[in-house]
A and B are shown apart, each in its own frame.
Chain A
Amino acid sequence: MMRRKDENSRRDANLDFSSNQRLKGENTRRDTHHGFSSNQRLKGEDAIKLLSENTDEAEIYFSIHHSNSLGIRKGEIDVFKENVASGYGIRVIKDKKMGFLYTNSLDLDDIERVLKIARVSERDEFLSLPEMDDHNYRDSRENFDPGIKDVTPETALESVSQLLESCEDYNVNPATGGISWSYSKVQIWNSHGVYGVDRSSACMCHLSTVKGGREPATGFYYDISRSFDLDFFKIGETASRLARDSIDAKRIGTLDTTLVLKPHAVGELLENVLIPSFNADNVQRGRSVLKGRVGEKVFSENLDIVDDGTLKDGIYTSKFDGEGEKTKKTALVDRGILRGYLFDTYTANKGGVESTGNAQRDSYSALPSVGPSNFVIKGKSGDRGLETKGLVVYGLIGAHTANPITGDFSVETRNAFLNGEPVKKAILSGNVFELLNKIEGFGKDVKQVSSIMTPSIEFSDVRVVS
């Protein structure tokens, strides 16, 4: 099965390519490249020229990702990993019909395949690719610290020592954890002349701790930065402290209480439940409760939300989005009033508006779709003692099972404290849209948790079942 590439006889799994359709422009390339056989590698700029001659619109997206990580198990190094992954995503539109293909190496075969897909796919008049000139990215911000390339595993081994330093003091088991550091390059070409190069870097660290006992307690903490500059000691210390403080937890029965969600808990809850409602694709398809409500007050008047792909030091800051549109800062909620939604080129065409630069592409193997960049939650900064009153929750279990359309949720807590005392098991129930109308205040502890950047938030009158 796993054979040498003696000849190009790869059968397509789905499509019949037996037709001898000759690509326009192929002969010319053959002449200049001396024997341009169908399995010869193409470069992005050559491929986009070839595609331009055979379709109405075309796009090539290339990414290469280098990542390293050190894994920890029970306080010991368990693994060192180094990974390299690269590939191309090709998108073509002909007669308003789209084809998409991904591959690790770009061959002439792939060009033929993607054109064939576009022929069988179905027409949608709103399909198009961004039209920009390449000066557009001149002032855009890269989310890249070149220093991350120089981080050695030996440096990271020292950071692991810092991470684990306080576990002994707190007498907890550093059960699993790790430090990872990575950098990526993205290139995009399209037939309208768009060409962009963007680089990014990231460093992540997490630790899960267990405090033994008749009923064990667990702690979890992580942090992320674009540079290798995390406070590893503090991450370990926080995870250890949470486990220690959560021992001897008690049941609290059913009650309605003031609730403080720490940044990680806010992120876990809102990532799945709130963000999809701002997605223009969901709005246009009748899948969002925020449809038709721009200009209305939908949340507490002290809540602001912006999506900002240009944010300095934002984890999801980039020069351009997944289809080459320049990233922007978009007001979504202003003093509780709904101001807009997140758009890519397709949904912008459909809605007759400009793209907000929110075409998200996690990998070369995925079609771009609408998604957040840095989803920034702000409000009147808190000077209230958020830590001391009511139920304070650091993390959630099962937040991904909440209802992304209605906003209804019913989730289990991890590291929850009622008036400072650890809580054994507590289900939080409610509705996200109602919850965001009960905001009492914000902390000063701003953290980025995946795309969400948020402080702690205090809510009034939330149902807890224990």
Chain B
Amino acid sequence: MAGQENSDNSDTYIIDPDKLQKVFDISARFIDITLISSTVNSITLKDGVARDITSGRNIGVGIRVLENTWGFASSTRVNDIGDILDIVKKTQKIAKNGKRIKFNSKDAVEDRVRTESKIDPADVDIKEKMEMLHTAEAATGDFNEVVSTSFSYADSTQDIYYQNMEGTRIESRYNKISIYTSVFAKKDGRIQVGMERLGGTGGFEIIKDTEELAIEASKKAIRLLDAGDAPSGNFRVVLDPKLTGVFIHEALGHAAEADHIIQGESILQGKLGEKIASDIVTVYDDPTLKGSFGFYHYDSEGIKGKKTSIIKDGILKTYLHSRETSSVLDMGGAGNARAQGFNYQPVVRMSNTYLEPGKSSFEEMIEDIKEGVYLRGSKGGEVDPARGVFQFSAEEGFLIKGGEIKEQVRDVAMSGETLRILKDIDMVGDDFDVHIGYCGKASQLVPVGDGGPHIRTYATVGGTG
């Protein structure tokens, strides 16, 4: 594989996987190496000026060695093999301490994969990318309240070479692309922001409808200027697909990560096969979702990514696993170990997590709500999986009164207890959408997709009113 010629693949790297074979001369229980070379190009328009244009490349290697426990070494000095071997041996020595971690062997896999992209961002002239951002930005000019805008475009190419002592060798190439925008509006001394983003795994074809994105961000900021204080208390709530995605990611997904189970930090411990949600709830984690932000062929341990059903018809079916957690819990299903980069140890992570659509229309969901809140758009969330308590904030809220959407409220957050709120889901919408985001855990950020349809449940709403 290494050294193979490919005319449309003209990048060369200052990495020599052959040199790194010396690492496998070390006698250890298990060793794997991950070499990553990534390039990122970005353009940021601040208030209409493309002042910040950047380009960068990072190359590095991460090496795991297992004895009783893990040693992990990483370096950007990829050609200094002597130094790398020294660090690996040092981590190996310390890894001989501690309680023996269970880790089952796997069959070797050899593969070479790459992201399908219709339009390689490298073939698009930088002027065209700048023009695309300027056109989007110009669309905000129609709104008098808009005082400041930022538009950021980024494309990245990541080449990953994975090899372990069992003989697995995998070369992967991923192209990711994204646009983030924030539009600030002002009125009578009040300032609000509207944010939108789009992106995925693939090429420049993912970038489309950017003017609509700019207009939506502008309208959102302006709507918020006149929004009132949100109420506080326990309400019937309807969540839009963005919030359903964040909710299912925060409230359920993290608690289903098997490392949390093993650490005694999850309310889902001992609940496999139990009914933890209402019958109409089915939740998947799926890294194979084409074009998605959380897409991968193989995870950071060289295990093929696959669709996992976490909840099926309300029953907890499985946890998400790395090789270690599936060994420790004696369950199948590795393939969710992910690392932010070569300098991070892979940990159990979600990919694209979504709730399967149901049968209800939006109208059916709100028509019998006497007093409730419709929450739309996500500002992020956080969970304490051991207690099953989560919080997330909506970008926009609308009061529901007598079965109708009424006035808008701002800065509304929702919190709840995972096990209670999953059972309180009484309607699942017939629509579906997945949105891009980054998830933080163990000080690592990885790209993810979160999604689902509109859903209806009960929650504690905290507003400023």
Residues of A within 8 A of B (CB): 1-16, 70, 73-74, 76-87, 98-105, 113-114, 117, 120-124, 127, 153, 157, 173, 175-176, 208, 210, 212, 215-218, 254, 285-289, 365, 367, 397-398, 400-403, 405-406, 408-412, 414, 425, 427-431, 463, 465-466
Residues of B367-401 whose CB lies within 8 A of A: 379-384, 386-387, 389-393
Establish whether residues A85 and B343, one from each chain, have CB atoms under 8 Å apart when the complex forms. Answer: yes
Partner of A6, one of B12, B112, B122: B12
B286 beta carbon closer than 8 Å to chain A: no
Known contacts A3-B2, A78-B69, A82-B91; is A14 also within 8 Å of B60 by CB?
no
Establish whether residues A398 and B184, one from each chain, have CB atoms under 8 Å apart when the complex forms. Answer: no
CB-defined contacts of B3 to chain A, threshold 8 Å: 3-4
Establish whether residues A11 and B11, one from each chain, have CB atoms under 8 Å apart when the complex forms. Answer: yes
CB-defined contacts of B391 to chain A, threshold 8 Å: 397-398, 401, 411-412, 427
Partner of B148, one of A113, A287, A431: A287
Query: Which residue of B has the minimal Cβ distance to A403?
Result: B411
Establish whether residues A429 and B192, one from each chain, have CB atoms under 8 Å apart when the complex forms. Answer: no
Establish whether residues B12 and A100, one from each chain, have CB atoms under 8 Å apart when the complex forms. Answer: no
A53 → B minimal CB distance (Å): 21
Interface size on B, residues (CB 8 A): 111
A158 → B minimal CB distance (Å): 12
Partner of A411, one of B114, B155, B171, B413: B413
B37 beta carbon closer than 8 Å to chain A: yes
CB-defined contacts of A113 to chain B, threshold 8 Å: 55
Establish whether residues A398 and B91, one from each chain, have CB atoms under 8 Å apart when the complex forms. Answer: no
Partner of B54, one of A87, A102, A288: A102
Establish whether residues A408 and B410, one from each chain, have CB atoms under 8 Å apart when the complex forms. Answer: yes
Q: Which of B259-267, B314-322, B351-359, B429-437 contacts A (4 or more CB under 8 A)?
A: B259-267
Establish whether residues B380 and A400, one from each chain, have CB atoms under 8 Å apart when the complex forms. Answer: yes
Distance of A408 Cα from B228 Cα, bound (Å): 12
Partner of B384, one of A14, A80, A218: A218
Residues of B178-194 whose CB lies within 8 A of A: 184, 186, 189-193
Distance of A12 Cα from B121 Cα, bound (Å): 11
Establish whether residues A210 and B386, one from each chain, have CB atoms under 8 Å apart when the complex forms. Answer: yes
Among A1, A4, A7, max chain B CB count under 10 A is at A1
Distance of A132 Cα from B46 Cα, bound (Å): 28
Among A12, A70, A78, A208, max chain B CB count under 10 A is at A78
Known contacts A14-B126, A85-B74, A397-B382; is A104 also within 8 Å of B51 by CB?
no
Known contacts A84-B76, A100-B54, A287-B148; is A11 also within 8 Å of B10 by CB?
yes
Partner of A425, one of B91, B130, B417: B417
Query: Which residue of B has the minimal Cβ distance to A84?
Result: B75
**Closest 4 pairs (CB-CB, A-B):** A427-B462, A410-B413, A401-B393, A398-B391
Residues of B1-42 whose CB lies within 8 A of A: 2-4, 6, 9-18, 35, 37, 39, 41
Partner of A122, one of B49, B71, B230: B49
Known contacts A74-B263, A410-B413; is A289 also within 8 Å of B56 by CB?
no
CB-defined contacts of A80 to chain B, threshold 8 Å: 69-72, 91, 94-95
CB-defined contacts of A428 to chain B, threshold 8 Å: 462
Partner of B56, one of A103, A217, A288, A412: A103
Establish whether residues B191 and A406, one from each chain, have CB atoms under 8 Å apart when the complex forms. Answer: yes
Residues of B110-161 whose CB lies within 8 A of A: 112, 114, 121-122, 125-127, 129-130, 147-148, 155, 157, 159, 161
Known contacts A14-B121, A287-B148; is A2 also within 8 Å of B380 by CB?
no
